[in-house]
Amino acid sequence: MSAFEGFDFVLFGGTGDLALRKLLPALYRRHREATDAASWRIVAIGRQPMSSQEYRHHAYERCCRHLASCELDNGWQAFAAQLEYLQMDAADSQAYAALAALLPAGDRNRVYYLATAPQLFAGICRHLGDAGLATPRSRVVLEKPLGRDLASATRINENVAKVFSEQQIFRIDHYLGKESVQNLLALRFGNALFEPIWNRSWIRDVQITIAETVGVEGRGDFYDGTGALRDMVQNHMLQLLCIVAMEPPASIQADRVRDEKLKVLQSLRPLSADDVAAKTVRGQYRAGAIGGQPALGYAEEPGVPPSSGTETFVALKAEIDNWRWAGVPFYLRTGKRMQERLAEIVVNFRAAPHAMLSGSLPPVNRLVITLQPKESLRLDLMAKVPGEGMQIQPISLDMSYSSESGRRWDAYERLIMDVVQGRLTLFMRRDELDAAWRWVEPILGQWQRQRPPLRPYHAGTWGPTQSSTLVVRDGNTWHEDS
Ligand code: BG6
């Protein structure tokens, strides 16, 4: 693509929360800084009757909440001038002629972003194909959740594949767009230092936490049919696990990276019925307080049935059956309405083989990759306590970028531009998605059959106590407890 060619961006689900909270602000930020911005064309599609002018106004109101005031300059007028709204029912094949009429003729890059319910994906792709809109330079972005299980994901993928080739399909997982995740790749594969110790001989355990303080945010209906395992573990958490555990790919080329991630997913030890009982914890939040503010219990949230058995918290122990990782537990934990908003990967190294020096605190060697709330990379080591004697104490080496390196791109900014440029490295290939479902499905199945207890936890805590027990049983502790 030449630098000034621009592209068309067609956003299905244009009035939805994701579009207004994440996608339009990300597009706006990129537009403000782009040299070819004048040739972009954005068409937002929704079912609500509205003129383009009304939509621009609505989008401005909503985007304002997610943009810094310094970003809201006259760049917005330029952006809005290229933003159209099309009221249409995406399930109606006749409606696609109106979309075709809005898109400039000619062969240029075109992105169809499907931020809709996954049940609509197959139909939208079919109608795009029938209307002649699936041109060779088109790409389609599929938002998660991509199905509810392997069978429904397969159905969607097969139908989308009738219209778009695998090279045109971008299955998005916005966690892979986060700066620290890419920094972890840079750290692992840009230095000779870490690779020799990145294995079972030197690493004791890996912990991946995504804790949110928010609840279901008005999405009670959707969330209650989904739960934390499908919403967070099957995708975001397993993708993070892959980035930590994969072998060094031969290159950063998409299929080389995706081949290595796939091997990790295929090496995850399947959980038997007994394993599911012993190595998974499901919880649901009860009323509590977060940051001094009272918070409702999950079952009192709008759209959630009072007797709901859906999990809002999951902790589990995963193991990878290969030479590099045999015997190293990967603890995964995610929950809504927890004490802090925190997403981090903690790599705990083994203790020094001979404790020659003493200190008031137990020795730690640990790499902490924080994704949220503030992206950072930190190495915890032991160093001498200054002054007399030879005591040691923990110190932290901050390996983050300096604050001078400017505003970081948000995950969606990076991933949207990757789609426009046709870079697939940070998107999931179909076989990866299938492998992730294959690993998660027995857990879902056992939970349905065995109905293991749904452990309550108060909003504003780190989850049910059984989550700590899961880790303590192996002689380890969650990072915040250590
Ligand atoms: C989404 C989930 O994929 O990720 C949401 O559907 C969750 O339930 C969100 O809140 C978390 O994303 P982030 O980037 O805010 O941590």
User: pLDDT for 67-82, tens place per residue?
Assistant: 988 888 889 999 999 9
Count other C-beta atoms under 10 Å from residue 358's C-beta: 10
**pLDDT (0 to 100) of residue 404:** 55
Which domains occur in the chain, in start order? 7-171 (3.40.50.720), 176-407+429-481 (3.30.360.10)
pLDDT at 4 over 70: no
**Beta partners for 320?**
268
Residues contacting 450, CB < 8 A, separation 6+: 273, 276, 277
Pocket test for ligand 1, best of 173, 181, 210, 212 (most atoms within 8 A of CB): 212
Terminal CA-to-CA distance of the chain, rounded, Å?
A: 51
Catalytic residue (one of 31, 127, 236, 354): 236
Backbone angles phi, psi at 48, to 5 degrees: -70, 135
Sign of CA dihedral 215, 217, 220, 222: negative
Q: Is 236 a catalytic residue?
A: yes
| Tally of residues, the chain | 482
**Beta partners for 316?**
280, 332
User: pLDDT for 259-287, tens place per residue?
Assistant: 999 999 999 999 999 999 999 999 999 99
pLDDT at 255 over 80: yes
pLDDT at 353 over 50: yes
**pLDDT (0 to 100) of residue 405:** 61
pLDDT at 217 over 90: no
Q: What whole-number distance in Å separates Cα of residue 25 and Cα of residue 133?
A: 26
Nearest to 296 by CA among 232, 214, 225: 214
**Ligand 1 atom having least distance to the Cα of 372:** 16
Residue nearest to atom 4 of ligand 1 (CA): 232
Helices (H), 327-379: none
C-alpha 337 to ligand 1 mean position (Å): 12
E-only strand ranges, 280-341: 280-286, 288-290, 293-295, 313-318, 330-335
pTM: 0.96
Contact between 172 and 142 (Cβ < 8 Å): yes
The answer to whether the CB of 375 is under 6 A from ligand 1 is no
Q: What whole-number distance in Å separates Cα of residue 335 and Cα of residue 210?
A: 7
Burial readout 256-283 (b: 16 or more C-beta within 10 A, e: otherwise): ebbbbbbbbbebbeebeeebbeebbbbb
**Pseudo-torsion of CA 104, 107, 113, 119, nearest 10°?**
100
